[in-house]
Structure 1
Amino acid sequence: MTGLLVALPALLPLLAAGLSLLVSRIRHAQRVVSGVALSAVLVDAAILLWIVDSHGAVVLRLGGYPPPAGITLVADRLSALMLLVSAVVTVVVMLYALGQRVTDHGRTATTSFHPVYLVLTAGVMLAYLTGDLFTLFVAFELMLTASYVLITRGVTADRVRAAMTYVITGLTSTLLLITLIALVYAATGTVNLADLGAKLSDVDPALRGALSLLFVTVIGIKAAVVPLHFWLPDSYPTAPAPITAVFAGLLTKVGVYALIRVQTAVFAHQDAWHVLLVAALITMLLGALGAVAQDDVNRMLSFLLVSHIGFMLFGLGLFSEAGLTGAILYALHHITVQAGLFLVLGLVARHTGATSLRRMPGGVARQRPLLAVLFATGAANLAGLPPLSGFLAKVTLLRGGAVSDTELGVVLAGAAVVTSFVTLYALARVWVIAFWGTGREGSADADRSSGELAPVMTTACAVLIGVGVAMAAFAGPLSAVADRAATHVLDVTSYRSAVLGGEP
């Protein structure tokens, strides 16, 4: 029974996608199918987290083939936490999309959205659960294929250009990933993560280090690590708000999750890795400085998304329990808050008729006070102001950097503080110009575009921003689970025992 719970997060969305195509002529039926499937995944993820936190990792061997020969799905505390928070985002973004009815450019939404969105969800969930590199590749392919369709909905010249950048980059990274997997298999004869950790210990250390660095580079493209981030600010801002939100909330975090899982289970660093720490430093600072230079609010948020990937790399690069706990907390916090802010600014753009700060009229706070509260809460959370969840995650990371054995950890802690202030400044510009400023009223066309279902969209925004606040309210239990997850991830022997069998 528990094995079935591991399969359902990826299986249910795929089955629902097929059913959604069958009932594509009945739009309300599509909505019911998507809503039921995504809600079931959310419930399943919550049950799975309770089980793995109480009883340990759950392993499902597909087809009954024992690892490393067969495909193995593994749910532990880290994957279950990511599953649960990601499931919340997929449900809420779907609610927002249903309330929106039309795309941001006024074109009628087609029936392809639901099955493609469900396939994207299946890819995300599979990436969290897979126990081998090849199935991880398949999960990335599911996500990328679906995202190619979603990012080109409502074709315009800007979206075609953005889609070309996105597709070419995605195909390149995919080609590099499958080549890297082939190299790993040639060196070890396996792609199972647990088995790889044991086999690589017998490989030449120089080759092992090269493979580790290549993996960081290839997955760094998907995670938008500087300088491999160039595609993201040109791609995400052109998509409709719900699509941009789910991309920003989930896709880059899947890359970060893959880095955490492989660098701990396979390459098992014993101390801080300066390569990752330097990448984290550059990503933090350059992403934040890029955000300050933007006039378009969606591009600004996209650069902040890149910048805050550096916080997660910081925690991983320390390869300590405190650092990894901070990285996990930051990923959970960032998934919800970043997606919520993209949704809020999507509503602001619909109200004002602009995404450019120079063209955006002021006074949104007077006309839409609830939007102002939601944006201010999300912005404060992303900047890490106390007592919100962003502050909790950053304090954990700063503690990890302060107690690390490398001076670079202390430097990263200082850079994290600087980045937080730059983030606050970039978001404060939006508040001052769009919300607090005095200008002409929002255009009548923009007001009409929000439609009678705008309260549904506002509710979706409030739920995501509220989840970020709830993480702070339940900081004690959440931190405890994240700490146990970090301990288990760093305990390579325990992971191998759960997957391969036998005593730790």
Structure 2
Amino acid sequence: MTLPADLVQTLTPLPVLIPMLAAAITLIGGRRPRFQRVVTMAALVAVLVVSVLLLYLADRDGISALQVGGWDSPIGITLVVDRLSAIMLVVSSIVLLAVMGFAAGQGVHDGTERQPVSIFLPTYLALTAGVCNAFLAGDLFNLYVGFEVLLAASFVLLTLGASADRVRAGVSYVMVSMVSSLIFLVGIAFAYAATGTLNLAQMATRLDGVPTGTRMAIFGVLLVAFGIKAAVFPLSTWLPDSYPTAPAPVTAVFAGLLTKVGVYAIIRAHTLLFPQGDLDNVLMVCGLLTMLVGILGAIAQTDIKRLLSFTLVSHIGYMVFGIALSTEHGLSGAVYYVAHHIIVQTTLFLVVGLIERQAGSASLRRLGGLAAASPVLALVFLVPALNLAGIPPFSGFIGKVALLQAGVAHPSALSWILVGGGTVTSLLTLYVIARVWTKAFWRARADAPEGDLADVGPSALIDESEEDIAFGDRADVGKMPVLMLIPTIALVAVGLSLTVFAGPFIEITNRTATDLQDRSIYIDAVLGPGYAEQATALETSPPGEQPEGGIR
């Protein structure tokens, strides 16, 4: 069956509208948890289906732009679907659906009388809408709105349960996010002052005529804002203290997805607005330091959640590496690695939630014997862990090889240093994963320094406040609910599919990188055919010889 080309116009706003409408419905039905869960799961399934269709249409027909409300660009709100945004929508919707299945399974197992699902589900749907809006945004301010929607929702999710640790982490997260948002606003103001527009396509054409120093200043401000959100060193120190305190489903979706929204913004800004490569060397240095500092921090951790938070920071460096190369192969590898890392990192944090259920703790000082106690759990951990470490033939290996090959092909000496840093980081990641395996799964529980404390129940491990226990963290030690295990296994399978279907997917990321390298495709899709060529002619023509009528 052939889908009509204009179907994309109808589908484009749905990834934002569906979760927002579902959030309103679940908020109204706050006293009916089962109804809330059904509405939430249906909405997320619908978002996934729409996202897959958008990816198919974007890959078949190219970029499509929707002018919301009938206002022509660059005046109105523009939503843009290209291969990059569609890939991000598909991967994000898969993760959001799987994590919601995990959370729903936890709610079914624990009961809903004392769980704040009436707040959790609408907020989760609002987070989904914010993420999708950020990926579809065709103007800088709408991108800011998407960030703010998902950040407002994340504030609530992060502090859910109101324990002392969560409130403390939430305050830190709120402060960092507010600073990031303020810097983003300053960057928006600078960009508007320099170009007179916030439409990304029109801004791309006008920035070419802005003096180099001013252009670099604008890019620098935006990079700081996006770097905080993406946890790029030295702007990443907030992350390891913020994520591990949240409930397992929240930690998983935060770790796997939210930082990648920042990475997406860096890719979009670098390729569309600032393709001149003025700050590529700065990005390379930041990518190298992000990889090394992150993985060295992971080596020092004894709590698996904090350890994985540091590996999360570390592997953001690979993505920055690919972006900074400013080549088609580098961008293709970065996009592939973003998709891989979203899936694998989310899976590992869900596995940690299962470990807490099985053993009562996520501390390596208390864990041991998990391979014998639960072979299924051991396998569910081992596959994504090896994938994260880049062991062949998993997708982590494929993504790293693609990035390292792009680095070797790059003419600068700094890229070779990054290749070495990426190789060292990969080896240290394997060491960190092996350390978790030997301590938590392989050795006997009796050999753990605090092994006698891990199975005494939640009272010895967490504050027994009503709020903490209400969300079900580390309750029912020794039981691993099937409804929480199934979504985790499903994500493991999705991660493996990136290996099995690596060839076709890399072909899509190659086409994505080709589009990103040719800005005129995006500009003409948003502003009309020939706009990019006309704008270039106007910029390069001598005074008095500009094309008749100019450009908008």
Q: Which category of TM-score, normalised to the shorter sequence, fits these structures?
A: over 0.9
Aligned to 1:137: 144
Aligned to 2:502: 475
Deviates more, 1:452-461 or 1:184-193: 452-461
How far is the alpha carbon of 1:272 from its aligned partner? 8.1
User: Pick from 37, 48, 66: which aligns with 2:54?
Assistant: 48
- Map 1:411-450; keep pairs closer than 5 Å: 411-440=417-446, 443=455, 445=457, 449=476
**1:83 corresponds to 2:89:** yes
Q: Residue 272 of structure 1 contacts residue 406 of structure 1 at CA under 8 Å; is this kept in 2?
A: no
Please give the alpha-carbon distance, in whole angstroms, between the structure 2 residues aligned to 1:150 and 1:126: 19
**1:24 corresponds to 2:30:** yes
**1:258 corresponds to 2:285:** no
Q: Residue 102 of structure 2 contacts residue 483 of structure 2 at CA under 8 Å; is this kept in 1?
A: yes
Please give the alpha-carbon distance, in whole angstroms, between the structure 2 residues aligned to 1:74 and 1:443: 51
User: Pick from 393, 408, 411: which aligns with 1:402?
Assistant: 408
Q: Residue 155 of structure 2 contacts residue 174 of structure 2 at CA under 8 Å; is this kept in 1?
A: yes
Q: Residue 457 of structure 2 contacts residue 477 of structure 2 at CA under 8 Å; is this kept in 1?
A: no
TM-score, with normalisation over the residues of structure 1? 0.97
Q: Identity of counterpart residues, as a percentage?
A: 49
User: Pick from 282, 286, 293: which aligns with 1:279?
Assistant: 286
Give the letter aligned to residue 71 of structure 2.
Answer: Y
- Map 1:291-330; keep pairs closer than 5 Å: 291-330=298-337
Larger Rg over CA atoms = 2
Please give the alpha-carbon distance, in whole angstroms, between the structure 2 residues aligned to 1:396 and 1:458: 32
Please give the alpha-carbon distance, in whole angstroms, between the structure 2 residues aligned to 1:87 and 1:261: 20
Please give the alpha-carbon distance, in whole angstroms, between the structure 1 residues aligned to 2:126 and 2:117: 16
Aligned to 2:231: 224
Q: Deviations over 1:294-337 (max 9, x none)?
A: 11110000000000000000000000000000000000000000
User: Pick from 357, 360, 369: which aligns with 2:364?
Assistant: 357
Give the letter aligned to residue 466 of structure 1.
Answer: A
Q: Residue 360 of structure 2 contacts residue 477 of structure 2 at CA under 8 Å; is this kept in 1?
A: no
**1:162 corresponds to 2:162:** no
Give the letter aligned to residue 214 of structure 2.
Answer: L
Aligned to 1:116: 123
**1:178 corresponds to 2:185:** yes
Q: Segments of 4+ in structure 1 off by > 4 A?
A: 450-453
Report the number of matched residues.
502
Please give the alpha-carbon distance, in whole angstroms, between the structure 2 residues aligned to 1:128 and 1:449: 39
3-state SS of 1:385 partner: coil
3-state SS of 1:73 partner: strand
Aligned to 2:105: 99
Please give the alpha-carbon distance, in whole angstroms, between the structure 1 residues aligned to 2:361 and 2:457: 11
Please give the alpha-carbon distance, in whole angstroms, between the structure 2 residues aligned to 1:366 and 1:147: 37
Give the letter aligned to residue 141 of structure 2.
Answer: F
How far is the alpha carbon of 1:110 from its aligned partner? 3.3
Q: Residue 360 of structure 2 contacts residue 478 of structure 2 at CA under 8 Å; is this kept in 1?
A: no
Please give the alpha-carbon distance, in whole angstroms, between the structure 1 residues aligned to 2:429 and 2:486: 25
Q: Residue 63 of structure 2 contacts residue 521 of structure 2 at CA under 8 Å; is this kept in 1?
A: no
Q: Residue 243 of structure 2 contacts residue 251 of structure 2 at CA under 8 Å; is this kept in 1?
A: yes
Give the letter aligned to residue 91 of structure 2.
Answer: V
Aligned-pair RMSD on alpha carbons?
1.7
- Map 1:372-411; keep pairs closer than 5 Å: 372-411=378-417
3-state SS of 1:230 partner: coil
How far is the alpha carbon of 1:486 from its aligned partner? 0.7
Please give the alpha-carbon distance, in whole angstroms, between the structure 2 residues aligned to 1:451 and 1:137: 44
3-state SS of 1:405 partner: coil
Shift of the 158–226 alpha-carbon distance from structure 1 to 2, 3 Å rule, reads: same
How far is the alpha carbon of 1:445 from its aligned partner? 3.3
**1:456 corresponds to 2:483:** yes
How far is the alpha carbon of 1:452 from its aligned partner? 7.2
Aligned to 1:202: 209
Q: Deviations over 1:237-267 (max 9, x none)?
A: 0001100000011100000000000111111
Q: Residue 325 of structure 1 contacts residue 483 of structure 1 at CA under 8 Å; is this kept in 2?
A: yes
How far is the alpha carbon of 1:349 from its aligned partner? 1.5
Deviates more, 1:464-473 or 1:253-262: 464-473
Give the letter aligned to residue 189 of structure 1.
Answer: G
**1:74 corresponds to 2:80:** yes
* Unaligned ranges ≥5, structure 2: 1-6, 459-473, 533-552
Aligned to 2:198: 191
Please give the alpha-carbon distance, in whole angstroms, between the structure 1 residues aligned to 2:158 and 2:478: 23
Q: Deviations over 1:172-221 (max 9, x none)?
A: 11111112101111111101111111111111111001111111111100
Q: Deviations over 1:402-431 (max 9, x none)?
A: 000111111111111110111111111111
Q: Residue 151 of structure 2 contacts residue 177 of structure 2 at CA under 8 Å; is this kept in 1?
A: yes
TM-score, with normalisation over the residues of structure 2? 0.89
User: Pick from 477, 481, 493: which aligns with 2:520?
Assistant: 493
How far is the alpha carbon of 1:108 from its aligned partner? 2.5
How far is the alpha carbon of 1:346 from its aligned partner? 1.1
Shift of the 168–270 alpha-carbon distance from structure 1 to 2, 3 Å rule, reads: closer
Please give the alpha-carbon distance, in whole angstroms, between the structure 1 residues aligned to 2:173 and 2:479: 34
How far is the alpha carbon of 1:229 from its aligned partner? 0.6
Give the letter aligned to residue 12 of structure 1.
Answer: I
Q: Residue 184 of structure 2 contacts residue 221 of structure 2 at CA under 8 Å; is this kept in 1?
A: no
How far is the alpha carbon of 1:453 from its aligned partner? 7.2
